[in-house]
Structure 1
Amino acid sequence: MTDDEVVETLRAVGRGRALPPPAGADAIDEAERVIGFRTPPLLRRLYGEVANGGFGPEDGVLGVSGGHAQGDFRDIAELYQDGPDPSGRVPAGLVLLYDWGCTIWSLVDFRDPAGPMWCSHQGELWPQGITLGEWLIGTSTGTVTVHTLLDSEPAVERDQ
């Protein structure tokens, strides 16, 4: 699916939801300044053309400043600035995008314009093998769920 098709699909899905208005370029630029990486082009388009967050799975992804919040988390830059991982296991440039609950997060990789998706659960972090566009379409249609994310979790021996 092309970026144009993802934008149009999420715009159509969003018509039935109460989404915030699109973000201004200044809010997106400020998030990039705080994070230290450019927003993947698809995410930048979605924030600027569809809505400032709120699209995607269930109650929607976090926006940039002034956009969709999720629980106690106001926006991606504030959350990134506060430090996504006190253990230091999350590399710079991986940005928390969606909180599934129960310490399960979906993260988007700002280091790569394609926006590869990652998952974090109970201190473990692994790539999902899909891009932001695939993740957004999958979460919007129900083919990507918290269960499919956890099913892809690598087997890691943990200290008992």
Structure 2
Amino acid sequence: MTDDELIAAARSHARDEELPGPAVPEDVAAVERAVGHAMPRLLKRVYLEVSNGGFGPWGAVSLTDTGDWFSDCEDLAMAYRDFTDPERNLPPGLVPLMDRGCAMWALIDFKTADGQMWDWDPNLCCKEHALAQLGQSLTEWLADWLQGTMPDGSYPHREPACQGCSAG
């Protein structure tokens, strides 16, 4: 799917789900300042052209408080601040995008132009090995969602959390 096809499909889904209206450029700029990196282009388009949160398989966190919370966090900057806790030891620029429940999150790398997707799942092994790359760009990840091939449980694209880990 092209970016334009993804935007059109996500926009149709947003209408069907009665999601919040699109964000404004100032909201994007505020999140980019909080993270210290520019938002990947496609993600920015989805927020600005589709909906300020709620899109995706588990409902992306809004850029601002829209009144519809899609996680325990009011907005994406709050989710990012909560996730940058030194205990998690996340690489800079990884932003929690969607709360998958049970302490699991889908994250996106703001440092990559195509928005590489990551998984946070401390239930697979331990907190030390909870973070793993999915090997998918945001485009591929959103296409899986829109085509109905996004898994309910563990990601098939996820690199192994840990092998032979004695922690947990």
Q: Could you say whether these structures have the same fold, taking a TM-score greater than 0.5 normalized by the shorter chain as the test?
A: yes
Distance in 1 between the 2:52 and 2:161 partners? Answer: 36
1:115-126 residue pairs with structure 2 within 5 A?
A: 115-122=115-122, 123=127, 124-126=130-132
Moved more, 81-90 or 91-100: 81-90
Match in the other structure for 1:158: 166
Distance in 2 between the 1:119 and 1:83 partners? Answer: 13
Deviations 1:94-131 (A, max 9, x none): 00001111121100000001000000111211110111
1:57-96 residue pairs with structure 2 within 5 A?
A: 57-58=57-58, 60-67=59-66, 68-96=68-96
**Alignment pair present for 1:136 and 2:135:** no
Kept in 2, the 8 Å contact 1:61–1:97? The answer is: yes
Distance in 2 between the 1:85 and 1:142 partners? Answer: 33
Gaps of 5+ in 1: none
Distance in 2 between the 1:34 and 1:49 partners? Answer: 21
Aligned-residue CA RMSD (Å): 1.9
Distance in 2 between the 1:127 and 1:40 partners? Answer: 16
**Secondary structure at the residue paired with 1:32?**
helix
Kept in 1, the 8 Å contact 2:97–2:106? The answer is: yes
User: What amino acid maps onto 2:3 in structure 1?
Assistant: D
* TM-score of the two chains, using structure 2 as the length reference: 0.86
1:24-35 residue pairs with structure 2 within 5 A?
A: 24-35=24-35
* TM-score of the two chains, using structure 1 as the length reference: 0.89
Match in the other structure for 1:105: 105
What is the number of equivalent residue pairs in this alignment?
159
Deviations 1:11-43 (A, max 9, x none): 122221111010010111011001101000001
Kept in 2, the 8 Å contact 1:31–1:65? The answer is: no
Q: Percent identity?
A: 38
Any runs of at least 4 consecutive aligned residues in structure 1 with deviations exceeding 6 A, and if so which?
Answer: none
Distance in 1 between the 2:99 and 2:84 partners? Answer: 12
